[in-house]
């Protein structure tokens, strides 16, 4: 029964990833065909991240009040309605609001589902379960762009298909039980709980920031770097997916290894190899070499978000897990906004240092793991008992 519940949550996350993976390139294609300036299209795409940042501070109290199931259903309903409303108008401001709402709804859905998974997963399967969560989103995100060609049949068709798929997943939520997060009276009052969560788990919480920074910087700034160094668009389209494929391929193995060995050890090894890969990429010019390097880097640092979530769950008491998951989402969004901005500055002033800047970020994350050894075992043992484990 519990495995069935876990499967439903993972399926919902995969459909959500599909919708996001479809929406980003779909709207970019529609804007390009309509003659919308590329800079305006880029600003428009930040709406989802803005929605995440707006709603994040207000999520914990509703989750505790309504429970996991109702909370996730609210987020799913916002996404379904917003997707269905895109064909109603082609106004840029109207679509911006809809993307903002989708960012809010998706974050509610992900916050509820990932908090439920981290809350209910036993310690010996925590890395595996969270990796499956990340894997399902990654697979959905990769499948999403395949639906973009539907726009040639009718501009509204991709939005309708995505909305219907989301509705099918939303219906599955009715088969989940009503469960509420564990609450400690000491953790109910004030924003001080955010400070406590950060103080106890900041090395783990930095990993979602790093992943957001890395993913957004590579996808938005690497094409610019590549074109400046003589690579064509077709080559860039071959190199970039290699990073995502590496992350998908090794998401579950790394999560399982982190259950068997020290979570921190796997994180340190992954960050080290990732930093070395991007350092080497600085001197590579062959498309085959770059593709191989991106794939190997993705194998290790493409799982930073899920590894960070698992490590955060090790370090925090269960009453602080909702706050920890809020911080994961917020930091991922901040990283996604900072990545292209900082990468753009680097490319503007010294484009040869683009990969070096990425390596420096990974090295900073690596050094941040060092002071935290003595706390890991204590909080891991504190969280070992789980009442409703998947």
Three-state helix/strand/coil letters over 41-79: HHHHHCHHHHHHHHHHHHCHHHHHHHHHHHHHHHHHHHH
- Secondary structure in 3-state letters for 222-268: HHHHHHHCCCCHHHHHHHHHHHHHHHHHHHHHHHHHHHHCCHHHHHH
What domains are defined for the chain?
2-175 (1.20.1250.20), 192-382 (1.20.1250.20)
Highest-scoring range by mean pLDDT, 23-37, 68-82, 371-385: 68-82
CB 261: neighbour CB atoms within 10 A?
12
CB of 201 within 8 A of CB of 315?
yes
The pLDDT tens digits for 88-108 are 988 889 999 999 999 899 989
- Region label for 91, one of left (φ > 0), alpha (ψ between -120 and 50) or beta (otherwise): beta
Q: Is the pTM of this model over 0.85?
A: no
Task: Name the average pLDDT for the chain.
Answer: 83
pLDDT at 382 over 70: no
What pLDDT was estimated at residue 184? Answer: 54
Q: How many angstroms separate the CA atoms of 217 and 294, rounded?
A: 13
């Amino acid at each position: 029964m519990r495995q069935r519940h876990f499967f439903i949550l993972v399926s919902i996350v995969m459909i959500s990833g599909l919708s996001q993976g479809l929406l980003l390139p779909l709207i970019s294609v529609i804007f390009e065909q309509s003659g919308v300036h590329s800079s305006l299209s880029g600003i428009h795409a930040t709406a989802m991240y803005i929605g995440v940042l707006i709603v994040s501070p207000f999520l914990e109290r509703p989750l505790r009040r309504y429970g996991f199931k109702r909370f996730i259903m609210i987020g799913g309903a916002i996404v379904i309605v917003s997707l269905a409303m895109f064909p109603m108008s082609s106004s840029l401001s109207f679509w911006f609001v809809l993307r903002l709402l989708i960012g809010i709804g998706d974050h509610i859905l992900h916050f509820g589902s990932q908090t439920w998974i981290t809350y209910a997963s036993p310690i010996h399967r925590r890395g595996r379960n969270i990796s499956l969560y990340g894997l399902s989103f990654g697979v959905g995100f990769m499948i999403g762009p395949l639906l973009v060609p539907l726009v040639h049949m009718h501009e509204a068709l991709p939005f309708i298909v995505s909305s219907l798929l989301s509705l099918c997943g939303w219906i599955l939520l009715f088969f989940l039980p009503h469960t509420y997060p564990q609450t400690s009276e000491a953790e109910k009052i004030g924003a001080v709980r955010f400070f406590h969560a950060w103080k106890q788990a900041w090395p783990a919480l930095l990993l979602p920031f790093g992943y957001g920074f890395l993913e957004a910087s590579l996808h938005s700034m690497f094409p610019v770097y590549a074109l400046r160094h003589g690579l064509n668009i077709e080559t860039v389209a071959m190199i970039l997916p290699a990073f995502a494929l590496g992350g998908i391929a090794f998401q579950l193995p790394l999560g399982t290894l982190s259950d068997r060995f020290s979570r921190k050890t796997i994180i340190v090894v992954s960050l080290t190899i990732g930093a070395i890969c991007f350092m080497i990429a600085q001197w590579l010019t062959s498309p085959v070499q770059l593709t191989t390097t991106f794939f190997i880097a993705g194998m290790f640092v493409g799982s930073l978000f899920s590894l960070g979530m698992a490590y955060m769950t090790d370090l925090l008491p269960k009453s602080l897990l909702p706050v920890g998951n809020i911080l994961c989402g917020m930091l991922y969004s901040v990283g996604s906004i900072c990545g292209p901005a900082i990468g753009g500055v680097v490319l503007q002033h010294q484009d040869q240092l683009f990969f070096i800047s990425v390596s420096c970020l990974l090295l900073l994350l690596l050094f941040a793991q060092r002071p935290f050894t003595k706390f890991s075992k204590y909080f891991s043992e504190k969280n070992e008992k789980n009442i409703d484990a998947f």
